[in-house]
Amino acid sequence: MFSGYTPNCPGKAVSTTKAWVRLFLWLPAWLSLVLVAPVRFIMLIFYFFYVTFVQVIASISSFFLGIKNWFDYVLFGWWYPQISWLWHNSFVFFLVFGIPFLLALTIFGFIWLLWTIFQFFINVLQWWEHLFSSTWWALWGWFYGFGWFFFWLPGWFYHGWTLFLSLLLEPLDDLCWGWFDIWDSWAAEIAEAFPQPVW
């Protein structure tokens, strides 16, 4: 519906709903933090042990380094040679860099061609207008009258309709905004009393 103005209530309703959803999810958020924090702490301890012990030993010991290389080969060994082959292959290099460049060049050339056709069309149109200038100005009065009847007159009706709807609906929109603003202020006060967990 063309109301003639931008209502403010839907945006306020969305922000208020988000605030209340955060409040309703306050307890699940704290419970998830309580459940996840020990798991994260334990994982950090194990990861610290892995970084400080396994990696250091693997870097200074050929035995552990051999084990590490064996795991790397088992898990990723089939992937490294393919990446190396694809990157050093000129055809793949052309696919990665050449085709986007050729595509951009083709698009630019097509736009240039369209612009040239458009300029030619404008030149022909100007020539045609100068050729029949007297006829055009003779018919301009009729075109102006039809244009006013079919475009300007409906525009005035549309302006009046939007003004009527603005006078009718804007107070309701203000009332709706005020109602959601009350709930938004309550949500803000409750959110200050019950802070959300920080991860």
What pLDDT digit, counting tens, does each position of 74-101 carry? 766 667 666 666 666 666 667 777 778 8
Highest-pLDDT range among 8-22, 122-136, 163-177: 8-22
In the structure encoding, which two tokens stand for residue 105, read together?
Answer: 């060049």
Based on its alpha-carbon atoms, the radius of gyration of the chain, rounded to whole angstroms, reads 35
In whole angstroms, give the CA distance from residue 56 to residue 70.
Answer: 17
Residue 4: inside a domain = no
Residue 62: inside a domain = yes
In whole angstroms, give the CA distance from residue 67 to residue 55.
Answer: 11
Residue 87: inside a domain = yes
Residue 38: inside a domain = yes
8 A C-beta contact, residue 170 and residue 10: no
Judged by phi (left if over 0) then psi (alpha if -120 to 50, else beta), residue 134 lies in alpha
Number of domains in the chain: 1
Residue 57: inside a domain = yes
Residue 198: inside a domain = no
Residue 2: inside a domain = no
The rounded percent of the chain whose pLDDT value lies above 70 is 72
What pLDDT digit, counting tens, does each position of 132-166 carry? 666 666 666 666 667 667 777 777 787 788 888 77
Spell out the residues 6+ positions from residue 30 whose beta carbon is closer than 8 angstroms to its own: 197
Helix, strand or coil for residue 2?
coil
8 A C-beta contact, residue 2 and residue 161: yes
Residue 113: inside a domain = yes
The model's pTM is: 0.41
In whole angstroms, give the CA distance from residue 143 to residue 141.
Answer: 5
Domain of 86, in residue numbers? 9-193
C-alpha angle with apex 131: 127 to 133, nearest 5 degrees? 110
